[in-house]
Amino acid sequence: MRETPQTLLKVFVDQRRWRYVDFERHFRRSAAELLDGGARNLTVSESQFRRWTAGRIQTLPGPDACRVLEYMFGTDAATLFGPPPSDLPAPTFNLEDEIDMTARDAQNEAGTAAAASISDIALDQLRDDVSTLAREYVTTPTYVVFQKAKEMRESAEVNRERTQVPAQQQELLIIAGQACALLATAAFDLGSLDGARRLSRSAALYGEVARFDPLRAFAGGTLAYIAYFSGRPAEAARLARTAQAFNGLGDVAQRRLAAIEARAFGHLGNVSSAQMALNASTTDGIGRRDDLHDEVGGEFGFSLERLAMSNASTCLLIGDGGQAEQIAAQALDLARSRPSATRSARVVGGAGADLAAARLLRDDLDGAAQALEAMWAVPNEQRATGLLTRAALVRRGLANDRYAQVALAAELGERIEDFTRQSAPHQLGAGPLTIEG
């Protein structure tokens, strides 16, 4: 087990799982934000870091260093360098966490051995980490995805500063861009459209600098659906069409962008253009693949059930309830046929919500209630922005005058309100969205 921390500073460092390189990076950035002039270059050596956290100092560090530490931790310097309070909870030993942290520390510190380049093993691990996160996105709480993707992007940038090998720098730009794209998707799912927009543009910029068009296309598609969820469908259609023109895209990428374009035209009320894009999204490809949507896949891919769910929403937007019901039922069947380890609760729930909305269009309240059973089962942390807007559409359908005196409609409406209140975006205080998705 680890030794008892001798200073409160050591407790804070351990809680954040910072190594020296992490502490020094945050210290340097904090100094740049807080201090002016020459003090902006204030740094901490590894030996200083060890003395500070172990409490092996006779006097407090200089005034500038104390100010930076207080800024970082929100606690005065004297308290930071003093012993931790006796009422702090005792640290618990978790063998799995200990092994994981030790493995990461060993991996990162071994990678620092190279001066002008990084180890191919370290690069492979970063690439694998981002790919794994993309593939596990559908079964991982969104806030966990956000935190992991944030760490991966920062790690890619740290390693990019270490290497002077052009091929490694380009690969790290791609990895950082992929992590940024996952951050954008997670931010969107958590209801932060402004944050998602900024992160998507950053991902697109990474792709542009790395000359990696599949990433630019993915980010462009994400920007498109953020635009129509923000009430700018004409901009969304333009962004989706622009993204389709990038070179080197596979069939999956084109299918995703066509579905997004169809939704944008649906929001515009342009039925003919929406139907044309719908048809394009379901056209058989010619076997093209790319290194992001196909080779990495996961959240960067676009499964058949996600395609069907998106197209069902488009059919609802253009008032084609019959086609919407057929496609939503297909999406639900496809999603449920997945093994539980790879099944997306959000797609199951979203398809169920669209199926309920379509059935309400033909006044089948009992059928809508049955379809909503798929939505109720979605865990709180998986209730993302797209699902909540679909639920809101059903809620509006239930508020129709013809259901004013129907007990089942009132019950379903109340359940949808509770479902929304317990979602991650609502708990985080995200503002309401006004466009159904």
Q: What is the pLDDT of residues 374-397, one digit of tens each?
A: 999 999 888 889 999 999 999 999
- Among residues 267, 302, 337, which one ends one of the domains? 302
Kindly state the greatest CA–CA separation across the chain.
Answer: 79
Residues 6 or more apart whose CB falls under 8 angstroms from that of 29 comprise none
Answer whether residue 23 shows pLDDT above 50.
yes
The answer as to whether 87 is a domain residue is no
Q: What is the mean pLDDT of residues 258-276?
A: 97
Give 319's Cβ-side CA count (13 Å radius): 5
Question: Are 200 and 288 contained in the same domain?
Answer: yes
Smallest CA-to-CA distance from 105 within 225, 14, 191, 10 is with 14
How many degrees, rounded to 5, is the angle at CA 234 between CA 229 and CA 239?
80
For residues 147 and 253, membership in a common domain is answered with yes
Could you tell me if 353 and 282 lie in one domain?
Answer: no
Is there a single domain that holds both residue 241 and residue 360?
no
Please tell me whether residue 202 adopts helix, strand or coil conformation.
helix
Whole-number Å distance between alpha carbons of 265 and 310: 13
Instruction: With cut-offs at 50, 70 and 90, classify the pLDDT of residue 56.
Output: confident
Residue 316 lies in a domain: no
Same domain assignment for residues 155 and 286: yes
Percentage of the chain modeled with pLDDT above 90 = 65
Q: How far from each other are the two terminal CA atoms of the chain, in whole angstroms?
A: 50
Same domain, 341 and 428: yes
Q: Whose CA is closest to 157, among 126, 113, 188, 125?
A: 126
Q: Are residues 343 and 436 in the same domain?
A: yes
Residue 436 lies in a domain: yes
For 288-310, give one letter per residue: b (16+ CB within 10 A) or e.
ebbebbbebebbbbbbebbbbbb
Of 51, 80, 109, the domain-final residue: 80
Residues 331 and 297 placed together within one structural domain of the fold: no
Give the pair of three-digit tokens for residue 293: 């949507």
Q: Number of structural domains, the chain?
A: 3
- The alpha carbon torsion through 81, 82, 88, 93 (nearest 10 deg) reads 60
Q: Are residues 170 and 244 in the same domain?
A: yes
Q: Residue 217: pLDDT above 90?
A: yes
The answer to whether residue 37 scores a pLDDT higher than 60 is no
Average of pLDDT values for 13-33?
A: 86
Least confident of 4-18, 23-37, 354-368, 418-432: 418-432
Give the residue-averaged pLDDT of 224-250: 96
Q: Does 102 reside within a domain?
A: no
Inside any domain, residue 71 = yes
Domain limits at 42? 8-80
Same domain, 127 and 76: no
Residues 58 and 136 in one domain: no
- What pTM, to 2 d.p., does this model score? 0.72
Alpha carbon 1 to its chain centroid, in Å, reads 35
Statement: residue 437 has pLDDT above 80: no
107 domain-assigned: no
CATH code of the domain containing 167: 1.25.40.10
Measured at the CA of 215, the angle between CA 153 and CA 263, to 5 degrees, comes to 115
In a domain, 130, yes or no: yes
Q: pLDDT of 127-183, one tens digit each?
A: 999 999 999 999 999 989 999 999 999 999 999 999 989 999 999 999 999 999 999
DSSP symbol at 292: T
pLDDT mean over 48-71: 89
Please indicate, yes or no, whether residues 145 and 240 belong to a single structural domain of this protein.
yes
- The single-letter code of the amino acid at 400 is N
User: Which residue matches tokens 């939505």?
Assistant: 375
Give CB contacts under 8 A, 24+ apart, made by 77-84.
79/8, 80/7, 80/8, 80/9, 80/12, 81/7, 81/8, 81/9, 81/52, 81/55, 81/57, 82/7, 82/8, 83/6, 83/7, 83/8, 83/55, 84/5, 84/7, 84/8, 84/10, 84/11
Domain boundary among 80, 104, 139: 80
For residue 93, the model assigns a pLDDT of 46
Q: Which CA distances in Å does 375 have to 12, 123, 415?
A: 41, 40, 11
Residue 111: inside a domain, yes or no?
no
Token pair of 181 as six digits: 């794209």
- What's the one-letter identity of residue 124? D
With a cut of 80, say whether residue 368 has pLDDT above it: yes
Q: Please check the confidence at residue 112 and state whether its pLDDT lies above 80.
A: no
CB count, 10 Å around CB of 312? 29
